[in-house]
Amino acid sequence: MTGLRWGILATGGIAGAFASDLRAAGLDLVAVGSRSQESADAFAARFDIAHAHPSYEALAADPDVDIIYISTPHPMHHENARLALEHGKHVLVEKPFMLTHGEAADVQQLAAERGLLAMEAMWTRYLPHMIRAREIIAAGTLGEIRSVAADHSQLLPSDPTHRLNALELGGGALLDLAIYPLSFIWDVLGAPTSIQAVARLIETGADAEVATVMTHAGGAISTSLSSSRTAGPNTAVVLGTEARIEIERFFWSPSVLRVIDPDGTVIEEFDGRLDETGGRGMQFEALAAERLVRDGILGGDILPLDDTVAIMGMLDEIRRQIGVRYPSEDATVDAEVRHG
């Protein structure tokens, strides 16, 4: 097999962006599944996809599909990933991987039992400027890394019924926005040894702003700020004893990276932006997924599934501290109490 045959589960905006990038990269997109035939047909016509399925179950059962990209809202990721894995399909699940650590651990176990790839679609990890950042850090150019700071703030809809503000849909700044700086911090510094989080909650109970201060191995400190109600600089900085890395606005997407020494001299500038033919940049995670399957590295490497699951645990702890619970968590507890 020279490449995997891709299916896309759901037809929303992020699914369209992913499909466009698959086409830009020349990857084999063969099927789409939606909750209606009309929606599946429209998406298939838009991206020249051979198979349009009127249900997620039909997509999962399609023998011509090897891997499924799951693009539904956060609370559906667990059910959808299990469906695909149970039908023998590899899965690339849009971030955040799941709603909770428990769901993530369950999917990890099922993927391991079936010998399949389960991977979080944290596309930032696979972008050229992020790969270069890891190379610079590994080479010791920065010296000892003492801190990382990153933010992700956008002025998004304030309608309480919008998905971003609805707890029943996993709404809030944490899972939609903060996942980017928090995953970046983990990538550079590893797991936190302590977590302090604060937030401002809105009338729906979702977090509109969330900030963290964490410590890491060796005493390094990280800070993050994310908001769905304000437009911020959206940059990232890695501070070392010998130099620093600065990543320009929208650090989580194709961007410009600079290495700067203590006196302000730019040692290196790496332009990771893509031209109009390069797509959005989601193709890099798809190419990584194909490589992992080809090489039999089903636990991942740039973003190991162990890390994805552990990051979900970090997010659970942040939510505990800021007082955010999703309705599905309470439903699970109620069911466990009823059934003992």
Task: Please check the confidence at residue 328 and state whether its pLDDT lies above 80.
Answer: yes
> pLDDT-based confidence at 276, cuts 50/70/90?
confident
Q: What is the CA radius of gyration of the chain?
A: 20
Instruction: Give the whole-angstrom CA distance, residue 51 versus residue 137.
Output: 44
The predicted-structure confidence for 257-272, as pLDDT tens digits, reads as follows 999 999 999 999 999 9
pLDDT of residue 284: 97
Task: Please check the confidence at residue 296 and state whether its pLDDT lies above 80.
Answer: yes
The closest alpha carbon to 236, from 224, 251, 222, 226, belongs to 251
The predicted-structure confidence for 197-241, as pLDDT tens digits, reads as follows 999 999 999 999 999 999 999 999 999 999 999 999 999 999 999
> pLDDT-based confidence at 333, cuts 50/70/90?
very low
pLDDT of residue 331: 65
The predicted-structure confidence for 177-207, as pLDDT tens digits, reads as follows 999 999 999 999 999 999 999 999 999 999 9
Residue entry with tokens 């410590």: 215
Instruction: Give the whole-angstrom CA distance, residue 145 versus residue 220.
Output: 7
Q: What's the mean per-residue pLDDT of the chain?
A: 96
CA terminus-to-terminus distance, the chain: 47
CB atoms within 10 A of CB 142: 21
Task: Please check the confidence at residue 251 and state whether its pLDDT lies above 70.
Answer: yes
Average pLDDT, stretch 122-145? 98
Domains of the chain: 5-122 (3.40.50.720), 128-280 (3.30.360.10)
The predicted-structure confidence for 60-76, as pLDDT tens digits, reads as follows 999 999 999 999 999 99
> pLDDT-based confidence at 330, cuts 50/70/90?
confident
> pLDDT-based confidence at 337, cuts 50/70/90?
very low
Residues 6+ apart with CB under 8 A from 270: 128, 129, 132, 256, 257, 258
Between 337 and 148, name the one with better pLDDT.
148
